Chains A and B, each alone.
Chain A
Amino acid sequence: MQKITRDALIEKAQTLLDSGVVTRVLGWKKGDFDYDVTPALFTDIESMKKDFVFGDFCGANFSKYLLKETKKIGVEGKVLVFLKSCDTYSFNQLLTEHRFDREKVYAVGIPCDGMVDVNKIKAIVGDGIVSIDDSAEVIKVETLYDGVKELNKADILLERCANCKSRKHVAYDELMGEDGEVIDSNRFDEVEKLEKMSADERFAFWQNELSRCIRCNACRDVCPACTCEKCVFNNPNSGVENKAAANSFEEQMFHIIRAFHVAGRCTDCGECSRVCPQHIPLHLLNRKFIKDINSFYGDYQAGETVGSRAPLTNFTKEDLEPSEAVNREDK
């Protein structure tokens, strides 16, 4: 796969800005460190040349940012957005749900060979990262205490990239480079492992994971499927709007409801797991629903096409009974 460079993206943005096709650009901007890249809006090419970055830390999916960007009053013209293949599924899903105006967006698909997880780097090199050079396959990490360390990109990929489900772009106005293929990934392996455990082991596993949750709501805020303006988790009467001091109920409730609200609409973009400061494997909840939906109601990939009917707003007269669902051997 050809690598897309920062310069190529800036050049593309410049052409589109100059010709008036777009008036602004959603892109990645360097944060305090090389690895905490943040989303930003650029309105001129000078600021882009100064701050825009593109590299292995550009996991952020911009689809959800389009909601706000296309609703701005008094702003003319289209917004340019760069979409990796996984991002295009979220883009389609939002269009299916009529969440933004397609006419106000110019989408450029960019090839991607996986993004890197800084937590995996930290686990290997420890603290005190000064700088990271990710221009080549071998990533050079300079640390305060230990000098420069070389890491293989394949070993430090984001979970979602290690189990990438598709390198194919399902939505764009223009594609840079060549398109990839849908991948037969192993993304359900971990779910299967859990299913094989006993109920007690599963309960212990999830208690250990979920009790770390600090209810920062980052997983909800980042999720391109979570776009309600009023969220149940902001309701002080819900009983789960805050972290409870005592037992585990509120955590389980929050996580079941969060995952349930996106069931059938979650594209498995992996943003929730990426942003969780507590490293809770939220994808294991989402993928359980995806896996069940596939096995109960036939294969379904949210966001593959615009306008497809989500499994939970659909039915057949022959659907299986809930009692059959929990007692299935192959679930």
Chain B
Amino acid sequence: MQVNEYKPKIVAFCCNWCSYAGADLAGSNRLSYPAEVKVIRVPCSCRVNPMFILRAFQRGADGVILCGCHPGDCHYTSGNYYTRRRMALLFSMLDYLGIEKERTRVEWVSAAEGAKFAATMNDFVQTVTALGENKRLEDLRCKK
């Protein structure tokens, strides 16, 4: 019998210098993580404007995760410290508007943490799958 299993759409913004390399390492170590995760490479986690996150939801993402170097290790010295403040405020605001807080996440993943990358993605996909489709931040105009 065929079951139409719900598969969420996940966008993962990964900074070039740590997390993207971490994703690479996960790949070369043959650690698997769900194919629902679409990785978008950004120069630094602080390249991610709050609008990018909202735009991802608008275009149909069910969860958005942002990965960068560990605090103190940013390739540009302090980018991720700004990210941390911005996202703390943005996520708190999304929660205030009644949008499920489990749909957004920030995680620090270094280039050596392939295993952490895979584990984080597995966990995040599971969480978002349990929540189901993103209904509160969707844009019908962007629906196929």
Residues of A with Cβ closer than 8 Å to B? 194-195, 199-206, 232, 239, 244, 246-247, 249-250, 252-253, 256-257, 259-260, 263, 285, 288-289, 292-293, 296-297, 311-317, 319-327, 331
Bound Cα distance from A69 to B35, whole angstroms = 57
Q: Is the CB of B85 within 8 A of A312?
A: yes
A194 proximity list for chain B (CB < 8 A): 96
Inter-chain contact A326/B101, CB cutoff 8 Å: yes
Determine whether B40 belongs to the interface, using a CB cutoff of 8 Å to chain A.
no
B130 within 8 A of A: no
Residue of B55, B71, B90 most packed against chain A (CB within 10 A): B90
The answer to whether A247 touches B92 (Cβ under 8 A) is: no
A285 to chain B: which residues have CB within 8 Å?
Answer: 93
22 contacts between A and B (CB under 8 A): A199-B95, A244-B139, A247-B138, A249-B57, A249-B138, A252-B97, A253-B51, A256-B97, A257-B51, A257-B54, A288-B92, A296-B85, A313-B82, A315-B84, A319-B84, A319-B88, A321-B84, A322-B84, A322-B90, A326-B92, A326-B95, A326-B101
Given contacts A256-B97, A312-B86, A331-B92, contact A246 B105 (CB under 8 A): no
Number of B residues near A (Cβ < 8 Å) is: 38
Q: What CA separation (Å) do A110 and B144 show in the bound complex?
A: 57
Contact of B105 with A204 in the complex, beta carbons under 8 Å: no
Q: Which of A250, A293, A317, A320 contacts B72 (CB 8 A)?
A: A317
CB <8 Å contact, B137 and A252? yes
| A289–B87 alpha-carbon span in the complex (Å) | 12
Q: What 0/1 readout, one digit per residue, does chain B (91-110) give for beta carbons within 8 Å of chain A? A: 11111111111001110000
Query: Which residues of B have CB within 8 Å of A321?
Result: 84, 88, 106
One digit per residue, 1 when the CB lies within 8 angstroms of any chain A CB and 0 when it does not, for chain B 107-141 equals 00000000000000000000000000000111111
Given contacts A203-B99, A323-B106, 19 further A-B contacts (CB under 8 A): A206-B97, A206-B98, A232-B51, A260-B89, A263-B89, A288-B92, A292-B88, A296-B88, A296-B89, A312-B89, A315-B81, A315-B85, A317-B71, A319-B84, A320-B88, A321-B88, A322-B87, A324-B88, A327-B101
Residues of A within 8 A of B34 (CB): none
Pairwise interchain contact A250-B54, C-beta atoms closer than 8 A: no
Residues 2-19 of chain B, each 1 if its beta carbon lies under 8 Å from chain A, else 0:
000000000000000000
A324 and B105 CA atoms in complex are apart in Å by: 11
Complex CA–CA separation, A307 to B39 (angstroms): 40
Decide yes or no whether B32 CB sits under 8 A from chain A. no
Q: Which residues of B contact A239 (CB under 8 A)?
A: 55, 58, 139
CA distance A239 to B59 in the complex (A): 10
B contact residues around A260 at 8 Å (CB): 50, 89-90, 93
A48 to chain B, nearest CB (A): 44
Distance A289 CA – B88 CA, assembled complex (angstroms): 10
Least Cβ–Cβ distance between A301 and chain B, in angstroms: 17
Provide the bound-state CA to CA distance between A315 and B90, in Å.
Answer: 16
Q: Is the CB of B88 within 8 A of A195?
A: no
Chain B residue with Cβ nearest A263: B89
Task: Give the residue name and chain of the A residue nearest to B101 (CB).
Answer: A326
Query: What chain B residues lie within 8 Å of A232 (beta carbons)?
Result: 51
B93 CB contact (under 8 Å) in A288, A311, A312: A288
Question: Which one of B50, B84, B87 lies within 8 Å of A256 (CB-CB)?
Answer: B50
Query: Does A325 lie within 8 Å of B139, measured CB to CB?
Result: no
Interchain nearest-CB distance for B45 vs A (Å): 11
The distance in angstroms between the C-alpha atoms of A11 and B94, with both chains bound, is: 51
Rounded to whole Å, the gap between the CB of A246 and the closest CB of chain B is 5
